[in-house]
Amino acid sequence: MVLHHTLFGVASLSNSKAFYLTALAPLGYKEILNFGDKQIGLGANGKPDLWLKDIGADGSPVKGLHLAFAAESRQVVDEFYQAALYVICC
């Protein structure tokens, strides 16, 4: 698995929750965590890997985007970081 989890902003948490729970039900997705009217975590097998965050109707979805990559070790995370710095500066 490369992606660990994804979070993105939505204009209506309740509408988005209903949509994704219905659409992802065949894949076994359920609501795993709920932070009230601000954020929910959906997933299969008891692990939330799709997060929805309420950013309101006037918010920009780009502001609410979050991707987390899975890594086998801290060393791999450090190597990723160094490679990213190299790309930015050189």
Length of the chain: 90
What DSSP character marks residue 59? S
Domain CATH code at residue 55 = 3.10.180.10
- As for how many domains the chain has, the answer is 1
Residue with tokens 């990213």: 84
Residue 43 tokens read as: 């997933």
Q: Which pLDDT score, from 0 to 100, does residue 90 have?
A: 66
44 close to 30: Cβ distance less than 8 angstroms: yes
Q: Which pLDDT score, from 0 to 100, does residue 21 have?
A: 92
70 close to 2: Cβ distance less than 8 angstroms: yes
Q: Which pLDDT score, from 0 to 100, does residue 39 have?
A: 93
User: Tens digit of pLDDT per residue, the chain (90 long)?
Assistant: 577 888 888 888 999 999 999 988 988 899 999 998 899 999 998 989 999 999 876 655 556 567 777 788 899 888 878 887 777 776
Q: Which pLDDT score, from 0 to 100, does residue 56 have?
A: 72
Q: Which pLDDT score, from 0 to 100, does residue 32 have?
A: 97
